[in-house]
A and B are shown apart, each in its own frame.
Chain A
Amino acid sequence: MEDSEIKALEVSVEQIWEIARKFGLDPFPTNFEIVPATVMYEVGSYALPGRYSHWTFGKAYHRMKTMYDFGLSKIYEVVINTNPAYGFLLETNSPVQNKMVIAHVLGHVDFFKNNAYFSKTNRRMVESVSTHARRLMGYEFKYGRKNVERFLDAVLAIEEHVDPNFFIKREISPEEEKRRLEHRRSEGRYDDLWHLDDPSFGRIARDAEAIEPSPDKPREILPDKDIVFYIMRHSPTLAAWQRDVMAMVHEEMEYFVPQMQTKIMNEGWASIWHARILRDLDLTDNEHIEFANLHSGVVSPQKGQINPYYLGYKIWEDIEKRWENPTPEEREKFGRPGGEGREKLFEVRELENDVSFLRNYLTAELCEELDLFVYELVDEEEWTITEKKWQRVRDQLVANMTNFGFPYIQVEDGDYNGNRELYLKHSYEGTELDMRYARKALEHVHTLWGRPVHLETVIDEEKSLLHYNGEEHQED
């Protein structure tokens, strides 16, 4: 890219920023970086620059890079949720592509900054992951690359099983909790009656009765959804460095969870704003046509599938319309005065995640317009459309997004059989686990726990238990 082009792009960035502010967007300051494809795909496959090494990243990188080399797919943009934020631009982008990407990135950054689910994310994550990478490299040096790699294999097998609300727990430090407990004991026998109105007090009181903390045994509250954290704290066999590795993976997952929870909203949000910003930008006729082409490529239905960009985009547009120009019925039934479109958009972007967004704002009309349907495999042969009633479609979509699409599994007992065995329970909600994968994943859990592990789930509508003791699988 020529220096003059960069100068021109700098001017565009300023313009786009001004327009975005004018629309009411409130992003972090954002630095843009022009990079070659190799770097783009590297950042894309690691999700953050400077992360630790693992073969699975190499595999993703290789796949993405190959797709790019063969012209099958192209990433235009990668954005990093930090403050200041980072946007990566592919050095082969055309000026219009760059403008669109810059506007799109600012939409994402506004979302990162203002959506409630991101309020606890570490905005200096790039620094954190690079210290993680350094520490891991140190462990590789000290304990052997293969050993660290095998261990990471096991941790990554369960990395999604963290608690999205982990920060609530973490905010009560052990000292703080002890202080609270002592405080409570000093009160009179019936004094807690005074606190009945205070919901948070009740919770802590109950917990405290369940488990008297002893100095040598860390506090356990079961069931625990955060399998990674639970094993890290309570595994009978892990070495200190291994617990540290788990802590790092856990911290990185905590950072990624909000992005997994808001994929549709976030992409839709960025897409409506890039469209509006570019409309306000001084483009030549040719640039307008190029932009229209690009935009329709991003925001277009994919037959048979759900394109999160398109679905999100349509819902956002619909929300604005329904609050800006409510129908007479809506005016009367919901008391919407109209003219609140923009305001409503910003409220939703602050408060919802994908699950609540779809549940609250995917309407019958939209389901019909988008021609959404539920499909499933019939007679193990044909993928068939089995449902078009909009509530059912919406509920299925919400169900598939729940727990970011992963089975909900909790730690039920860390001392099962009175023998320090780990008992996991899958909360069955109508879909069975992939059994081959479950058995292999259980082997990974065993690597982490070091003693027999069990998984309760449902197979053929019957409660079943998978066991793995380090040597063989059993099932009953």
Chain B
Amino acid sequence: MSIQRNDWSLQRKGIIDQDRHKERVKEAIRKNLGSIVSNESIILSDGKRTVKVPIRALDEYKFRFDYKKRKHVGQGDGKTRVGDVIGRENQPGAGTGAGQAGQEAGAEYYEAEVNIDEIAALIFEDLHLPFLEEKAKKAVQSRKTQFNEIRRTGVIANLDKRRMIMENIKRNAREGHPARFGDIKKEDLRFKTWEEVMRYESNAVVIAMIDVSGSMGEFKKYVARSFYFWMVRFLRTKYDNVEIVFISHHTEAKEVSEEQFFTQGESGGTVVSSAYQLALDIIQQRYRPKDWNIYPFHFSDGDNYYSDNDEAVRLAGELINTCNLFGYGEIGEEGSASYRRASGALLSIFKDRLKDQERFVGVRIDDKEDVYPALKQFFGKRGVETPN
């Protein structure tokens, strides 16, 4: 029988394994980017830095009973009777969790707390503006910090401990002491220093067009906006100086503010050519192709007025000729398979009539999880990149 108190300050096991867990979370996030990209809590994060997203890959799978099909035993306050309802499904906390090991039903799946900036970094890793060309006018800058030098003086936060220890050991050996770490002196210190590298790129403008006609239901608008959410973020993170023009259209198109673009709901029919015409007008007035890299993107459900299709194709062809890349995303009904598409939909017409155009990218989205692949198709690496 004894009471002891030891020094546990070096005990790190829990923390080390916590890091292993974090690593797993990261890995799972990387693998599940598709579903995370279009997760409501991120798109609707409203400026919050971190959000919680469910990640199923982190469940600890076992053979276990179906919690909802099992009978459980509980304890009441003395007045319970058969037929009393003690909890409802989808109402966490009430009536669940009989408290036995390994079957806490509350934790159906693991919710990882993710930092939106980190997610963004993962998503944007391989994205860039394709077919970017050098243009005459003021440059787009992208700035990078590079740690590329070691100095004897510097900010203590940038201390290079590894090099310092090596220097220290070397000095001790030089001075005839045992070649061991100890007795640090100022001359052992080594600091990492950085240089800011400016990269000058060409001017770029992105024209974001969205269909807000009556047929664009909740899901479709959500998908279009989550695409643009990430696109805007991506452009602002990677490029210091990209301009974005927002256009929304139904039968008529108009230029709107960013906030309107992401929030407004409207109704009416669809005349796609109106948006393209406005885009072309804006290009002509403000962004002359000689000076600018221009990237128009358009999201719609493809439900265009039949009589407008020829005009839309013609203007799309014009956009392709004046711009670096024209992207068109067509959003289907939630969960519908592509074969259900009516042949009159715009995407199939574009694909048919613009198929030789290298600078046209058409994408179909039937599911929230298709948003990430769409981003990659528009902004991902291409096989060959030939300026011009």
A190 within 8 A of B: no
User: Complex formed: what's the CA distance from A406 to B78 in Å?
Assistant: 30
How far in angstroms is the closest Cβ of chain A from B26?
11
User: Complex formed: what's the CA distance from A372 to B73 in Å?
Assistant: 7
B3 touching A13, Cβ below 8 Å: yes
A54 and B94 contact, Cβ closer than 8 Å, known pairs A304-B74, A381-B89, A431-B69 = no
Q: Mark B96-111, 1 if CB is under 8 A from A, else 0.
A: 1111111100000010
A304 touching B95, Cβ below 8 Å: yes
B8 within 8 A of A: yes
A151 within 8 A of B: no
On chain A, the residues within 8 Å of B6 by CB distance are: 33, 35
B1 touching A383, Cβ below 8 Å: no
A385 touching B65, Cβ below 8 Å: no
B76 touching A387, Cβ below 8 Å: no
A391-435 residues at the B interface, CB under 8 angstroms: 393, 396-397, 400-401, 404-407, 409, 426, 431-435
Q: Which residue of B lies closest to A149 (CB)?
A: B20
Q: Mark B1-39, 1 if CB is under 8 A from A, else 0.
A: 111111010010111111111111000000000000000
B290 within 8 A of A: no
Q: Which residue of A lies closest to B85 (CB)?
A: A382
How far in angstroms is the closest Cβ of chain A from B156?
27
User: Complex formed: what's the CA distance from A114 to B73 in Å?
Assistant: 29
B79 within 8 A of A: yes
A371 within 8 A of B: yes
B21 touching A58, Cβ below 8 Å: yes
B99 touching A308, Cβ below 8 Å: yes
B48 within 8 A of A: no
B74 touching A38, Cβ below 8 Å: no
User: Complex formed: what's the CA distance from A355 to B89 in Å?
Assistant: 29
B162 within 8 A of A: no
A239-274 residues at the B interface, CB under 8 angstroms: 260, 263
A377 and B76 contact, Cβ closer than 8 Å, known pairs A13-B3, A35-B8, A431-B66 = no
B64 touching A433, Cβ below 8 Å: yes
A interface size (C-beta, 8 A): 91
On chain B, the residues within 8 Å of A409 by CB distance are: 63
Q: Mark A434-457, 1 if CB is under 8 A from B, else 0.
A: 110110110110000000000000
Contact pick for A61, options B14, B58, B67, B95, CB 8 Å: B14
Q: Mark A318-333, 1 if CB is under 8 A from B, else 0.
A: 0000000000000000
A27-83 residues at the B interface, CB under 8 angstroms: 29-36, 38-39, 41-42, 45-46, 50, 53-59, 61-62, 65
How far in angstroms is the closest Cβ of chain B from A455?
8
Contact pick for B70, options A9, A29, A431, CB 8 Å: A431
Q: Which residue of B lies closest to A34 (CB)?
A: B5
User: Complex formed: what's the CA distance from A431 to B68 in Å?
Assistant: 10
B86 within 8 A of A: yes
User: Complex formed: what's the CA distance from A470 to B208 in Å?
Assistant: 45
Q: Which residue of A lies closest to B57 (CB)?
A: A440
Q: Which residue of B lies closest to A36 (CB)?
A: B8
Contact pick for A34, options B4, B21, B63, B100, CB 8 Å: B4
A9 touching B101, Cβ below 8 Å: no
On chain A, the residues within 8 Å of B99 by CB distance are: 302, 305-308
A305 touching B97, Cβ below 8 Å: yes
A376 touching B76, Cβ below 8 Å: no
Stretch at the interface among A157-165, A195-203, A287-295: A157-165
A304 and B85 contact, Cβ closer than 8 Å, known pairs A32-B3, A406-B102, A409-B63 = no
A134 within 8 A of B: no
A10 within 8 A of B: yes
A374 and B73 contact, Cβ closer than 8 Å, known pairs A54-B17, A308-B99, A400-B98 = yes
How far in angstroms is the closest Cβ of chain A from B10?
11
On chain A, the residues within 8 Å of B18 by CB distance are: 58-59, 61-62
A385 touching B1, Cβ below 8 Å: no
How far in angstroms is the closest Cβ of chain A from B365?
26
Task: Identify 25 residue pairs between A and B in the complex whose beta-carbon atoms are under 8 Å apart, listed by A's number.
Answer: A10-B3, A31-B1, A31-B2, A32-B2, A35-B8, A36-B8, A39-B8, A55-B23, A56-B60, A58-B21, A157-B62, A161-B63, A303-B76, A305-B75, A305-B98, A373-B73, A375-B71, A383-B88, A383-B89, A384-B86, A406-B102, A407-B63, A431-B65, A432-B69, A441-B63
Task: Supply 10 further A-B pairs (C-beta < 8 A) apart from A46-B14, A407-B64.
Answer: A31-B1, A53-B20, A61-B14, A89-B3, A158-B63, A371-B79, A373-B75, A374-B74, A386-B82, A433-B65
